[in-house]
Amino acid sequence: MKVAIVGGGPSAFYVASRLLSRMTDARLRVHLFDRLWAPHGLVRYGVAPDHPEVKNCTNKFDQVAADARFRFFGNVNVGTPPPLGMAHTVQLGLDALQKHYSHLIFATGCTLPALHTALLNSPWCMPALGFVHWYTQHPSAPPPPALDTLTHVSLIGNGNVALDIARILLTPPDVLEKYDVPQPVLQVLRSSTVRHVDIIARRGPINAAFTAKELRELINLPDASMRPIAPELLVPPESASRQQTRILQLLAQGSRNTFGTTPKTWALDFFKSPLGIEPPPPGGTQPQLLLTHTSFDAHGHLVPHKPAPPLSTSLVIPSLGFRAEPAARFFDPAFGHLRAQAGRLLDGDGRVVPNVYASGWAANGAKGVLATTMMDAYAVADVVLKDLEGGNAAELSEMHPEFMMNPTPGDDLSPLKVRDAGATRVVTYPDWKRVDAEEVRRGELLGKERERMRWDEAEAFLWGETRTT
């Protein structure tokens, strides 16, 4: 078995770990292809910098990469057009993987933001994913928000990502500087004039999407305070879970600082939904976020109720989740991710595609935490091994001849022929470990966790010059 895994985040590494640990055959090969030059996906480019403990899983990933049967190929974009700002990636078609591998696993995640129809194409709107990619220095290199011209930010959605962004905006930069926050990001945060953050949710506090841990961090910020919430919204129903009850208790308790006594403030606005954004009124400087109150109908469905007063705000950040890329092979527009069942990929007619699988968010949508991803990845790896033991590939191939993997891929290590072909923009795991050590070294000089490299810096560090071809 020779496996190509498309994606280099937690799901990909957990699948690889399971396959390598369950199969002792020295002939097994597991190759990861990731269009990001650095491995670990959302662990590097999605986890908030002040949550370093979440990144401890990379120790496990290093152990996976130490297996002689494993190889990592970073900065390689497989099967879809390169994303905006990432034209430097090496392009590789799916047909190359079909030719050189017996099995294919998609662990590509959900890499696009879910959009709100009322907030499309507005100059006063920035998707949460772009904001996160800015402060994690994602290779797509989104431009920094003009925080030195903003006073009020409105987040649409109340998941953990929304609370991460609120916390980054409200935390003193002197507190953040010891974490994995790049120096250019700290510079922008130090010039920020943001004084208030609204977090707008279409449902009530009993249906809050954030966790108690995230809320606790926000209410305990040293230089910020929360606007009190109407007590009648915080009475737990008898059906409330322990987690829901705890969140309602924390909201009733309020922030550590009394509202209005701090340089910065924030608020949770429940039962509201956006209708659009209007330009600043005559003589005004801030656009108007149009809102509606929401309520539940007789069937328990959430519906617009009545208009709410417009909200003057400097910037609107929708944080409504993520979806897979529509250009991806096997994408299902009805679900916003790849078409999969029990880990196996399906074609448009619902037929199993032999020896092709999907794991994590690519297969299930953007939901769950790291532990959920790990368990799903292990389950998918077990399905791969079960299919291999069952020997049903020949039978499945007769059912589905359009997309075939190679049952006898041979000993060729990779379709890239990385060094021999001169594809020097491909980053191997040893390359990454060199960059990793250098980032940590640079961080130590600044008294912080690490100082990240941009792609051009990593390229120059690894190969002595910046390559343009």
CATH code of 342's domain: 3.40.50.720
Would the pTM count as exceeding 0.85?
Answer: yes
Regarding whether 295 and 423 lie in a shared domain, the answer is no
The reply to whether 124 sits in an annotated binding site is no
User: Which residue(s) pair with 74 in the sheet?
Assistant: 34, 427
Regarding whether 280 and 136 lie in a shared domain, the answer is yes
The reply to whether 160 sits in an annotated binding site is yes
When pLDDT is averaged across residues 18-28 and rounded to a whole number, the result is: 93
Regarding whether 121 and 105 lie in a shared domain, the answer is no
Question: Does residue 468 carry a pLDDT above 60?
Answer: no
How confident is residue 410, by pLDDT bands cut at 50, 70 and 90?
confident
Regarding whether 276 and 303 lie in a shared domain, the answer is yes
Regarding whether 187 and 52 lie in a shared domain, the answer is no
In a domain, 302, yes or no: yes
How confident is residue 414, by pLDDT bands cut at 50, 70 and 90?
low
Which stretch of 156-165, 200-209, 298-307 has the lowest confidence by average pLDDT?
Answer: 298-307
The reply to whether 273 sits in an annotated binding site is no
Q: Which of 268, 297, 318 is the last residue of a domain?
A: 318
Q: Which domain range does residue 359 map to?
A: 2-111+322-463
The reply to whether 320 sits in an annotated binding site is no
Q: Which of 273, 298, 318 is the last residue of a domain?
A: 318
Q: What is the pLDDT of residues 66-77, one digit of tens each?
A: 999 999 999 999
Among residues 45, 187, 139, 134, which one has the least CA distance to residue 456? 139
pLDDT of residue 309: 95
Regarding whether 50 and 163 lie in a shared domain, the answer is no
Most confident of 112-121, 132-141, 278-287: 132-141
Q: Which of 318, 344, 361 is the last residue of a domain?
A: 318
Question: Does residue 155 carry a pLDDT above 90?
Answer: yes
pLDDT of residue 305: 83
When pLDDT is averaged across residues 17-45 and rounded to a whole number, the result is: 95
Q: What is the pLDDT of residues 321-366, one digit of tens each?
A: 999 999 999 999 999 999 999 999 998 888 899 999 999 999 999 9
Token readout for 70 is 């494993």
Alpha-carbon Rg for the chain, nearest whole angstrom, is 24
In a domain, 468, yes or no: no
When pLDDT is averaged across residues 90-110 and rounded to a whole number, the result is: 93
E strands along 222-271, which residues?
224-226, 264-269
In a domain, 201, yes or no: yes
Regarding whether 447 and 336 lie in a shared domain, the answer is yes
Regarding whether 82 and 177 lie in a shared domain, the answer is no
Q: What is the pLDDT of residues 242-291, one digit of tens each?
A: 999 999 999 999 999 999 999 999 999 999 999 999 999 888 889 999 99
The reply to whether 283 sits in an annotated binding site is no
Task: Assess contact for 270 and 204: CB atoms under 8 A.
Answer: yes
pLDDT of residue 351: 87
Regarding whether 148 and 297 lie in a shared domain, the answer is yes
How confident is residue 422, by pLDDT bands cut at 50, 70 and 90?
very low
pLDDT of residue 37: 97
pLDDT of residue 423: 54
In a domain, 469, yes or no: no
Regarding whether 364 and 236 lie in a shared domain, the answer is no
pLDDT of residue 389: 85
When pLDDT is averaged across residues 308-326 and rounded to a whole number, the result is: 95
Regarding whether 128 and 80 lie in a shared domain, the answer is no
pLDDT of residue 244: 96
The reply to whether 11 sits in an annotated binding site is yes
Task: Assess contact for 271 and 295: CB atoms under 8 A.
Answer: yes
When pLDDT is averaged across residues 222-248 and rounded to a whole number, the result is: 95
In a domain, 262, yes or no: yes
Q: How many residues does the chain have?
A: 469
The vertex-90 CA angle with 85 and 95, nearest 5°, equals 120
The vertex-148 CA angle with 145 and 152, nearest 5°, equals 80
Count the neighbouring beta carbons within 10 Å of the beta carbon of residue 194: 20
Residue 34 parent element (H or E): strand 29-34
Per the model's pLDDT, the better-predicted residue between 469 and 183 turns out to be 183
In a domain, 311, yes or no: yes
The reply to whether 463 sits in an annotated binding site is no
Q: Name all contacts of 13-17 with Cβ < 8 Å and 24+ positions apart.
A: 13/39, 13/40, 13/60, 13/61, 13/64, 14/359, 14/373, 14/374, 14/377, 14/378, 14/381, 15/105, 15/107, 15/359, 15/377, 15/378, 15/380, 15/381, 16/64, 16/70, 17/60, 17/61, 17/63, 17/64
* Average pLDDT score over the chain: 91
The reply to whether 158 sits in an annotated binding site is yes
When pLDDT is averaged across residues 87-116 and rounded to a whole number, the result is: 92
pLDDT of residue 464: 85
The reply to whether 203 sits in an annotated binding site is yes
Instruction: Work out how many domains the chain is built from and give that number.
Output: 2
The reply to whether 214 sits in an annotated binding site is yes
**Residue 270: CATH number of its domain:** 3.50.50.60
Regarding whether 161 and 66 lie in a shared domain, the answer is no
Token readout for 122 is 């507005």
Question: Does residue 127 carry a pLDDT above 50?
Answer: yes
Per the model's pLDDT, the better-predicted residue between 18 and 391 turns out to be 18
The pLDDT > 90 percentage for the chain reads 79
In a domain, 339, yes or no: yes
pLDDT of residue 32: 96
